[in-house]
Structure 1
Amino acid sequence: MTNFGLQILMGLVLGVALGFLALALGGDAEKNPNWLMTTLDTIGSSYVSLLKAAVVPLVVTAVISSIANLSQVTNAARLAWKTILWFAGTALIAVVIGILLGAIFRPGANTGMSAPDTYSGTTGSWLSFVTSIIPANFLGLTVSTEEADGDLTSSPTFNVLQILVISGAIGIAALKVGKAAEPFLAFIRSALAIIQKVLWWIIRLAPLGTLGLIGTAVFTYGWTTMGSLAKFVILLYVGLAIVGFVVYPVLARTQGLSVKQFFSGVWPAAQIGFVSRSSIGTMPVTQRVAERNFGVPQAFASFAVPFGATTKMDGCAAVYPALAATFVAQFYGIDLSIAQYVLIVVVSVLGSAATAGTTGATVMLTLTLSTLGLPLDGVGLLLAIDPIIDMGRTALNVSGQALIPAIISKREGILDENLYNAKRSSDWFESDLSAEEFSGTDEEKENREREASGVGVG
Structure 2
Amino acid sequence: MTNFGVQILAALVLGLILGLTARSTGHTADTPNGLGTTLEVLGSSYISLLRAAVVPLVFFAVVASIANLAKVTNAARLAAKTLLWFAITSLIAVVIGIILGAVMQPGVGTGQTAPPDYEGKTGSWWAFLQGLIPSNFLGLSASTTAGEDGSMSTSVSFNVLQVLVISIAVGVAALKLGEKAKPFLDFSASMLEVIQKVLWWIIRIAPIGTVGLIGNAVASYGWDTMGTLAKFVAAIYVGLAIVLLVVYPLLAKFHGLSIRQYFTGMWPAFQMGFVSRSSIGTLPVTQRVAERNFGVPRGYASFAVPLGATTKMDGCAAIYPAIAAMFVAQFFGIDLAWSDYLLIILVSVLGSAATAGTTGGVVMLTLTLSTLGLPLAGVGLLLAVDPIVDMGRTGVNVVGQALVPTLVSKQEGILDEDKYNASRSGSNLLADDEAPLETNDDGGAGTGAERESESSRA
When the two structures are superposed, what TM-score results if normalisation uses the length of structure 2? 0.89
- In 1, Cα distance between equivalents of 2:448 and 2:54: 28
Distance 1:226 1:111, change over 3 A: closer
Give the distance between the partners of 1:323 and 1:287, measured in 2 at CA: 29
2:448 and 2:42 mapped to 1: Cα distance? 36
2:264 maps to 264
* Residues 371-410 of structure 1 aligned to structure 2 (within 5 Å): 371-410=371-410
Alignment of 1:37-186 (within 5 A): 37-149=36-148, 150-186=150-186
What amino acid does structure 1 have at the position aligned with 2:315? G
- 411 and 364 in structure 1: CA distance in 2 versus 1, 3 angstrom threshold: same
Shift of 1:334: 2.5
Which stretch shows the higher mean deviation, 255-264 or 106-115?
106-115
Letter in 1 for 2:87: A
Structure 1 unmatched ranges of 5 or more: 433-445, 451-458
Contact 1:26-1:34 at 8 Å conserved across structures: no
2:2 counterpart residue number = 2
Query: 1:115·1:333 contact (CA, 8 Å) conserved in 2?
Result: yes
How far apart, CA to CA, are the structure 2 residues paired with 1:448 and 1:330?
57
Is contact 2:28–2:221 with CA below 8 Å preserved after alignment?
Answer: no
SS at match of 1:157: strand
Hey, what does 2:436 align to over in structure 1? Answer: none
Name the CA distance, whole Å, in 1 between partners of 2:448 and 2:2: 22
Matches within 5 A, 1:317-328: 317-328=317-328
- 1:85-104 residue CA offsets vs partner (Å, 9 max, x unmatched): 00000000011111111223
Instruction: Tell me the equivalent position of 2:442.
Output: none
User: What secondary structure does 1:154 align onto?
Assistant: strand
Residue-by-residue CA offset, 1:17-38 (whole Å, 9 max, x unaligned): 3333444554445533234x44
Aligned-partner SS, 2:131: helix
User: CA–CA distance in 2 between the matches of 1:183 and 1:253?
Assistant: 43
Q: Partners in 2 of 1:83 and 1:352 — Cα distance?
A: 14
> Cα offset for 1:447?
12
Query: Is the CA contact 2:288–2:430 (under 8 Å) kept in the aligned structure 1?
Result: no
Residue number in structure 2 paired with 1:12:
12
2:118 maps to amino acid: Y
Q: From the superposition, tell whether residues 360 and 19 of structure 1 become closer, same or farther in structure 2 (CA, over 3 Å).
A: farther
CA contact (8 A) 1:360 1:390 kept: no
| Alpha-carbon distance, 1:135 to partner | 0.3
Deviation track 1:206-247 (CA, whole Å, cap 9, x = no partner) reads 233323322333333332211022222211211111111111
Q: Can you give the 5+ residue segments of structure 2 that lack an aligned partner in the other structure?
A: 433-445, 451-458
Contact 2:27 2:219 in 1 (8 A): no
1:417 aligns with 2:417: yes
Check 1:276–1:132 CA distance in 2 against 1; reply closer, same or farther (3 A cut).
same
What RMSD in Å do the two structures reach over aligned CA positions? 2.4
| d(CA) in 2 for partners of 1:428, 1:221 | 47
> Which is worse superposed, 195-204 or 76-85?
195-204
Q: 1:106 to 1:6 in 2, by over 3 A?
A: closer
Shift of 1:146: 1.7
Aligned pair 1:34/2:34, yes or no? yes
C-alpha displacement at 1:317, in angstroms? 0.9
- C-alpha separation in 1, matches of 2:349 and 2:449: 35
Q: Partner amino acid for 2:250?
A: V
Q: Deviation at 1:123?
A: 4.5
Instruction: Name the amino acid aligned to 2:398.
Output: V
Q: Tell me the CA shift for residue 448 of structure 1.
A: 12
Distance 1:11 1:448, change over 3 A: farther
Provide the rounded CA distance (Å) in 2 between the counterparts of 1:345 and 1:238: 19
In the TM superposition, residue 373 of structure 1 has moved relative to its aligned partner by 2.1
Report the equivalent of 1:301: 301
Distance 1:241 1:113 in 2: 30
CA-CA distance at 1:388 after TM superposition? 1.7
Aligned residues: 436
Q: Which residue of 2 aligns with 1:341?
A: 341
**Stretch of structure 1 that moved more, 386-395 or 89-98:** 386-395
Deviates further, 183-192 or 25-34: 25-34
Deviation per residue, 1:57-107 (Å, 9 max, x gap) = 111110000011000001000000000000000000011111111223322
Q: Structure 1 stretch 169-178 or stretch 356-365: which is displaced more?
A: 356-365
Structure 1 pair 424/144, CA: closer, same or farther in 2 (3 Å)?
A: farther
Q: Percent identity?
A: 67
Provide the rounded CA distance (Å) in 2 between the counterparts of 1:113 and 1:38: 23
